[in-house]
Amino acid sequence: MSKAEIKTAASKKAGAKAKKDKPIVKVPTSSVGRAMFVGSQAVGALSAARALRTARAKGDKLALTHALLNAALLVVTLLLAKRGMREAKRAAESAAAEPLMLPSGK
């Protein structure tokens, strides 16, 4: 077995253990972080709307496509963030998240 094959096998083995489903969009848990996330999404929406309005006025199809793709990206990002928040809330409310009662030593 060559060194490259050994490294590949080791990385696959380590990746299988440590691999966890990571969310595509990570929504911050702090209030300041969430405010920044929402603010950046709002600024992006305003920018996409302005670009769409400008592209329509000029009749530029490439700019119009770019503006529509930006708007679609914002919508998908918000949907992924909402799903991630819903899954985190569901995980926090599940029975597995509750602490176990330790038996008394009596």
Q: Which of 21, 35, 33, 23 is nearest to 82 (CA)?
A: 23
Q: Give Cα 92 distance to the centre of its chain.
A: 18
Query: Per-residue pLDDT averaged across 84-93, rounded?
Result: 81
pTM for the model: 0.61
- Which residues lie closer than 8 Å to 63 by C-beta, 6 or more apart? 51, 54, 55
Query: Per-residue pLDDT averaged across 2-31, rounded?
Result: 66
pLDDT tens digits for range 39-69: 999 999 999 999 999 999 999 999 999 999 9
